[in-house]
């Protein structure tokens, strides 16, 4: 995926995607690609008139119009609003489902968790670990934090390696329904920060 398309600023979105499609022997349908990245209403707009998020969508369109087997995406959702990010995530899932291998770099850890089959953490210039998001940094085996609301209205929390047993104990104490009950394990961000902190 290109960093930018400044040299084509006088072309329209449609003209540019059609132009790039001509480079490939088995290109995807340019109009379909434009629709998939959410730029149908901008197909006749000159690229210099696009917003930052729309330019990123155009970059994605140019990256996928050739039906790549391997696609490198460097922070592709920078500048996207939350709705556009979710739409882009769906596009990535569709590409992956169709057989495209995707190498994605992102600082959005919710994005990595939503999209990645494997996550690699780089800290201090070296690869620290590669694993499924749920297993990174022994995440699935980490203690859970169980929180609940006490009768006086305050919130109490306890870290536990056996959260199911703790919840059962609380359920007995509160006659079945534990007020304000939450059980959380470390997020991908928690694990990432711990890992890079250990390296630094």
- All domains in the chain, ordered by first residue: 6-117 (3.40.50.300), 136-199 (no CATH)
How much is the pLDDT for 6? 55
More confident residue, 30 or 10: 30
3-class SS shares of the chain: helix, strand, coil, % to 5: 45, 20, 35
Residue with tokens 């006088």: 10
How much is the pLDDT for 60? 84
The whole model's pTM is what? 0.70
Span 79-90, pLDDT tens digits? 778 888 888 898
- Residue 88 gets the label, from left (phi > 0), alpha (psi -120 to 50) or beta, of alpha
What contacts 66, CB < 8 A, 6 or more positions away? 20, 21, 23, 24, 27, 28
């Amino acid at each position: 995926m290109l960093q930018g398309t400044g040299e084509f600023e006088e072309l329209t979105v449609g003209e540019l995607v059609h132009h790039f499609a001509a480079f490939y022997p088995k290109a995807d349908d340019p109009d379909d690609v434009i629709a998939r990245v959410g730029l149908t209403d901008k197909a006749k707009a000159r690229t210099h008139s696009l917003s930052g998020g729309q330019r990123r969508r155009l970059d994605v369109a140019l990256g996928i119009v050739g039906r790549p087997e391997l696609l490198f995406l460097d922070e592709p959702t920078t500048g996207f609003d939350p709705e556009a990010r979710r739409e882009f995530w769906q596009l990535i899932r569709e590409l992956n489902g169709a057989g495209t291998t995707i190498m994605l770099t992102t600082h959005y850890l919710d994005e990595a968790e939503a999209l990645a089959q494997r996550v690699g953490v780089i800290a201090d210039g070296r690869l620290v670990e590669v694993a499924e998001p749920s297993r990174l940094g022994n995440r699935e085996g980490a203690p859970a934090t169980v929180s609940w609301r006490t009768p006086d209205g305050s919130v109490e929390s306890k870290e536990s390696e056996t959260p199911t047993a703790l919840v059962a104990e609380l359920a007995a104490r509160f006659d079945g329904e534990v007020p304000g009950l939450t059980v959380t394990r470390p997020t991908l961000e928690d694990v990432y920060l711990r890992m890079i902190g250990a390296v630094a």
